C-alpha cells in the first residue's frame, strides 16, 4: 500500500509541474514584449503596458497565439507580432 501511495504522490507532483508558466521576452522593433505561456491553450502577451489574453492555435510549425486584435507567431528565437494591423519582427532578448 505504501508503494502505491508513493507512486500516486509522485505522479501528482509531476502533473503540478506541467502547469508552470513559461515567460519569454522579445525585442520587437525596439519594443519589449513578454509572452507568458499559461498552459497548453492560453498565453498572456504584454506590450506597451497592455496585457492581451491569447488563445493557442494549431500551426504547421512554431507556436501561434491569437485573439481578435493580436497575432503572435514564434519559432525558435524569432517571432512575428501583429497588433491592430501593425506588424513587428521580433527576436528573443
The tens digit of pLDDT for each residue in 24-39 reads: 999 999 999 999 999 9
Return the CATH number at 65: 2.40.128.200
> Does the residue 47 lie in any domain?
yes
Predicted TM-score of the model (pTM): 0.75
> Does the residue 3 lie in any domain?
no
- Domain of 66 in residue numbering reads as 21-92
> Does the residue 28 lie in any domain?
yes
CA angle, residues 50, 54, 55, in degrees to nearest 5: 175
Mean model confidence pLDDT for the chain: 83
Q: Which of the pair, 50 or 12, is modelled with greater confidence? A: 50
> Does the residue 9 lie in any domain?
no
Residues 6+ apart with CB under 8 A from 36: 21, 22, 23, 43, 44, 45, 46
Amino acid at each position: 500500500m505504501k508503494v502505491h501511495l508513493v507512486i500516486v504522490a509522485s505522479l501528482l507532483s509531476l502533473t503540478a509541474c506541467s502547469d508552470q508558466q513559461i515567460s519569454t521576452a522579445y525585442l520587437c522593433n525596439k519594443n519589449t514584449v513578454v509572452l507568458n505561456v499559461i498552459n497548453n491553450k492560453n498565453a498572456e502577451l504584454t506590450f506597451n503596458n497592455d496585457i492581451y489574453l491569447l488563445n493557442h492555435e494549431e500551426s504547421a510549425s512554431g507556436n501561434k497565439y491569437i485573439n481578435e486584435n493580436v497575432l503572435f507567431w514564434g519559432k525558435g528565437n524569432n517571432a512575428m507580432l501583429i497588433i491592430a494591423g501593425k506588424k513587428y519582427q521580433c527576436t528573443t532578448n
